[in-house]
Every structure is written in structure tokens, then in C-alpha cells.
Structure 1
């Protein structure tokens, strides 16, 4: 991990980058792939209504903040938009998606579900990296 001081981290950018995962997720898992995602998970509308939304969304935001903090530390103080987006894309595709792929293979989950979920993370990490790179 690159050493950097707390002063080189824009904490508002960290927050916005974490929040961006919710914007992408809202579009990804509703308008773009919501129905297919529900089918692949064997969810119906009733399942969606019975979830503990505070726990799900609160936990997801905390995890997104952790991702954002670690990503900005990984990017280092000499970052820019291109470095951030490239590093985010690389982390999303070659670390997150491939790790998910291993799990999906052993859990025998569908390839379609893998591409929906892994694609979300690749796009999210890319945008988060861009935000953190540009907004220093």
C-alpha cells in the first residue's frame, strides 16, 4: 500500500464515491437487470418486500465506504481521473470479478447471474476510482 498522509485524502470524495455505488446499483438492479437478477436468484416481489432494508442498505453503504477508503489509499496521492478509473476497472475486473467467479463455480450459480453481479462491481469500481482520482 502506498504511504500517504490523511491530508492527501479528500473524505468528501470518499463519501461521494461510496454513494455512487448506490446510484449505479439502483439503476443496475432495477431498470437494467432487475428482472433477470430476480429470476436468477429465484426471488419474487414478496421476497423483495420482506427483506430488512435498513440492514441491507446500511451494511452495503458501510462496505462501500470501506471499499472507497481502501481504493483511495491504493491510488496514492499522485492520482488523477485516468489512473483512478484504470485502477478501479482493473481491481473490479481482475480481483473482484475473478474472485466472485471462483465462488460462483463452486456454488454452481448461473453464468448469467455472475455477469450481472460482476458487471455491477466492475462498473462501480471504475466510477469510484474515477471520482477518487479526479476529486483530490
Structure 2
């Protein structure tokens, strides 16, 4: 099973698109600024090329790991394919389940679970030690839950 690098790239870019919408002042942008203790001057004073470049790099790193979370066949491949070559068990598994659960809906479901059970606890823990409130946690983790849902859908469904 080969990785779909175009799907991974599109999934990475989707993180920026979701962020553009999510953190827009008409959506959660103003509430996030207030919860984060940021001002318009602080936001405008940042090196936006560096910020968006690094955000895209981080999204790309995340998108590369998503196939193992949202595509069941990747797990089968990791168990049965390796130094020994392709084992009969992998060939048999792929013959029976080759495209099973390879849908946008299934990928979105696993992306959603990844957001809730991976991103939320990480961001929530950091925010607690930073003494940020529930609104800060909900806005930022909500962004990652939606983003991982979209990424999972793209990566799992796009064959």
C-alpha cells in the first residue's frame, strides 16, 4: 500500500484553510484573542511568512502520520510486510479487505476520534499549566478536532 502524497499535501493545506475560517474574527477569532490574552498589535507584529510556513510544515508532519490512524490497511501492512517481504497473510488480507472502510466518512470518524482523544488532552494539559480558561481550551481544541476530522476524511477517502 503506497501513500497518497497528493492527499497528504491537500490535507496539510486544509489545516490552514480551516484555521483561516475558524480564527476569523467573525467566527472564533475575537474570542480566541481575548482568551489567549492577545491584542491586534501583537498579532500584526508577528512574522507572518514564518508563522504560516511553520504552520504548514507542522500540518504536513501531522498529515504524514494520519494514514496510520485512519486507514486500517496501513496497520495490516505494518504487521505483515517488512524485511521478510510481502507475507501471504497480507496478500490474503488485502484480497478480502482491500478497500474496506476506505471512505471519506470513515476517515472523518477516525480523524474526529484523534482530535478528541489526542489533540484535546494535549492542548488541554498545556492550557491548564498556562493558566488558560475553558474558552481557550475549547476554541483551540475545537479547531484541531475539526481539522483532524477534515484531514482524516481526505486521507482515507482519497485513493
TM > 0.5 fold call: yes
Higher RCO, Cα 8 Å, sep 6+: 1
Paired position in structure 1 for 2:18 = 24
Choose from 76, 86, 108 the match for 2:131. 108
Q: CA deviation at 1:75?
A: 2.8
Long gaps (5+) in structure 2: 74-98
Paired position in structure 2 for 1:39 = 34
8 Å CA contact retained: 2:112, 2:149: yes
Give secondary structure in 1 for the equivalent of 2:122: helix
Q: TM-score, normalised by structure 1?
A: 0.89
Q: TM-score, normalised by structure 2?
A: 0.77
- Using the alignment, how far apart are the partners of 1:128 and 1:14 within structure 2? 8
Paired position in structure 2 for 1:73 = 68
Q: Which stretches of structure 1, 4 residues or more, deviate above 2 A after TM superposition?
A: 73-80
- Using the alignment, how far apart are the partners of 2:36 and 2:128 within structure 1? 15
Give secondary structure in 1 for the equivalent of 2:150: helix
RMSD between superposed Cα atoms in Å: 1.3
Long gaps (5+) in structure 1: none
Give secondary structure in 1 for the equivalent of 2:132: coil
Confirm or deny that 1:59 pairs with 2:54.
yes
Give secondary structure in 1 for the equivalent of 2:38: coil
